[in-house]
Amino acid sequence: MTLTPLDRRYGASVRSVWASVLGRVGQSWAGLGSWRDADAARFRRTTLPIILAGERQIATLTASYLEQLYRDLGERGPRVKLDLDAVTGQSLRGVDPVDVYQRPFVEVYTALSDGEPLDVATERGAHRLETIAKTDLQLARTHTVREVADQQPAVEYTVRELQGEYDCALCMIASTQRYHKRDLAPIHPGCDCLVKTVKADFDPGQVIDEDRLERIHDLVEEALGKADRGGRAVDYRKIIIAREHGEIGPVLGYRGQRFTGPDDITLPT
């Protein structure tokens, strides 16, 4: 599948929200000057409303986008009813955002207790903050897709479209699959994949792009010296897996590893 003008407009709108939210959150963190308990409380009071507003913007954009997709499929139906509280805030993780956004400060305190200098400790906290915020913004999207698709009877599945400046191997594998519409698409922290609804008269099977999947397998073989589509000679679960995260649902990741950037594993699209 390729990105349509509608996909691109929607993607650009979402990226604009991401940039605005992450920029303001990052500035708030950098401007703290001190990262004590009182500063943490002040940070959450001023920053959580910004993040929640961003989540609600993304949810609204996503609902409108999916409604247009549905019309483009030739389908008509009642206007989508979306409870924004059900796809943002605490509903995303089942954990109070106040507790979630204390974690960057815990990161700082842990680093300091390990003997790291303040600048290193606060940088680690900033990275944790960015990861959490990116994940929440993407969760607002995937939760909205699930809720809206449930109101569109002609839609059976969702697929992922790659749209980032680079695409990690995890997203590439996921982009070759189809998901039932009530299943949250697996994500990894910072994932910005576009999730599209699909109308199908029959189940195409889990793999919808055999050629791309084969190319990825070939690259795994080049990198590791062996590959096995049946998963016997190489345990693919140890290379690329989908596992459940207690708060955010399915998460793509490497067993025993953490994907940090395009240089860790680079696969062409």
- Of residues 246 and 102, more confidence is placed in 102
Domain limits, the chain = 5-253
Enter the pTM of the model: 0.82
Span 251-263, mean pLDDT?
50
DSSP 186: P
**Alpha-carbon gap, residue 147 to 219, rounded angstroms:** 36
Residue 53 three-state SS: helix
What's the mean pLDDT in 229-251?
Answer: 60
- Buried residues in 3-41 as b, exposed as e (16+ CB within 10 A): eeeebeebbebbeebbeebbebbeebbeeeeebeeeebe
pLDDT at 74 over 50: yes
What is residue 169's predicted lDDT score, i.e. its pLDDT?
Answer: 67
Per the prediction, the chain carries an average pLDDT of 83
Q: What is the pLDDT of residue 84?
A: 97
Structure tokens at 82: 């979306």
Per-residue pLDDT tens digits for 126-161: 999 999 999 999 999 999 999 999 999 988 898 888
> 252 has which bridge partners?
242
Summarised one tens digit per residue, pLDDT across range 219-238 is 767 766 776 665 556 554 45
* Portion of the chain with pLDDT greater than 70, in percent: 81
Residue 242: the pLDDT is 54
Q: Is the pLDDT of residue 185 over 50?
A: yes
Q: Does the pLDDT at position 241 exceed 50?
A: no
pLDDT by residue (tens digit) across 111-126?
A: 999 999 999 999 999 9
Band of pLDDT at residue 267, cut at 50, 70 and 90 = very low
